[in-house]
Amino acid sequence: LNRLNLPFTERIPYAKNCIARELFQIMTEKQTNLCIAADVTKSADLINLANQTGPHICLFKTHIDILDDFHVDVIGTLQKIAEKHNFLLFEDRKFSDIGKTAQMQYCNGMYKIKSWAKVITAHSLAGAGMLDALKQSDNGIFLLAEISTSGSIIDKNYATKTTKLASQYPDLIAGLVCQSPLFLSEPGFIQLTPGVQLDVESDGLGQKYNTPSAVIEKGADIAVVGRGITQSSEPAVAAEKYKRLLWDAYLKRVK
């Protein structure tokens, strides 16, 4: 059983996490495996991006704490757009503390992530207790097994241990954030791969980029594109282009 050759619909029965199942559905319905990294610092820009790229994405990934002008109303607006265009809100919080602290960061504070982001990221380094603390009946976690930067101190052993940890939490883990096909025989998990941009190799701050077709060949089920879209003069056009390239590469892979 190799997930790389299975169409998303055929992977639904293997997925124990509700978000993974929902994502497989959305991707198939909208024919998109594009996640936008909506890394902008003004609420108006964030909302514009959601409106413009909404038809082309399955996930809208935020770093909500980089907004200079955060107000709870932004969340309500994003939720309406997400419903209209059928995508999920995804807060890339990369939880990594002891369980109790991570739980408060998830539920409390001014962002109240738990109340609106059913999809979140977490580092695996704190281990099982933190995953227990973040567990809800209707959420999904993408666990970081690798990172896209040059000089990262994550090694093969860490990635393997992360995959093992994920296997112990199939009902909570939607998938893994990684750069290579780590869990080929577990079709219920989704590989989320960031560091995707055409015509650029790095950003001068350690980020490494690969092309859409290259990451799909290396096992990405969903690709994360940030500045490739957000810094385009026409984000909707750029999003549509990345969507098409990623989906074509996926169709080629499963064929």
Please say if 94 is a catalytic residue: yes
Q: How many secondary structure helices (H) and strands (E) does the chain include?
A: 10, 8
Contact positions with ligand 6AU (CB under 6 A) in 73-112? 92
- DSSP assignment, residue 125? T
Task: Tell me which of 30, 92, 208, 241 is the catalytic residue.
Answer: 92
Residues in the chain: 255
224 φ, ψ (degrees, to nearest 5):
-100, 125
Q: In whole angstroms, how close is the CB of 157 to ligand 6AU at the nearest point?
A: 17
Q: Which is nearer to ligand 6AU, 187 or 226 (CB)?
A: 226
Residue 219 interacts with ligand 6AU (CB under 6 A)? no
Residue 177 interacts with ligand 6AU (CB under 6 A)? yes
Q: Which is nearer to ligand 6AU, 89 or 224 (CB)?
A: 224
> Across 73-188, where does the E strand assignment appear?
88-95, 119-123, 140-144, 173-177
Q: Which stretch binds ligand 6AU (CB under 6 A): 80-88, 102-110, 156-164, 223-231?
A: 223-231
Task: Tell me which of 16, 45, 94, 114 is the catalytic residue.
Answer: 94
In which region does residue 90 sit, left (phi positive, over 0), alpha (psi from -120 to 50) or beta (all else)? beta
Residue nearest ligand 6AU (C-beta atom): 226
| x/- track of binding to ligand 6AU for residues 8-47 (CB under 6 A) | -----------------------------x-x--------
Tell me whether residue 203 is annotated as binding: no
Tell me whether residue 39 is annotated as binding: yes
Residue 194 interacts with ligand 6AU (CB under 6 A)? yes
Please say if 97 is a catalytic residue: yes
Please say if 156 is a catalytic residue: no
CA distance 97 to 128: 11
Question: Contact at 8 Å (CB) between 59 and 119?
Answer: yes
CA distance 219 to 214: 9
Residue 140 interacts with ligand 6AU (CB under 6 A)? no
Q: Which is nearer to ligand 6AU, 13 or 239 (CB)?
A: 239
Place of tokens 């990594």: 96
According to CB under 6 A, which one of 207, 216, 222, 249 is a site residue for ligand 6AU?
207
Residue 227 interacts with ligand 6AU (CB under 6 A)? yes
Residue 120 interacts with ligand 6AU (CB under 6 A)? no
Q: Which positions ≥6 away from 177 have C-beta within 8 Å?
A: 121, 142, 143, 144, 145, 146, 147, 192, 193, 194
- Alpha-carbon separation of residue 164 from 43, 124, 127, 186 (angstroms): 38, 10, 11, 11
**Which residues participate in catalysis according to the annotation?**
92, 94, 97
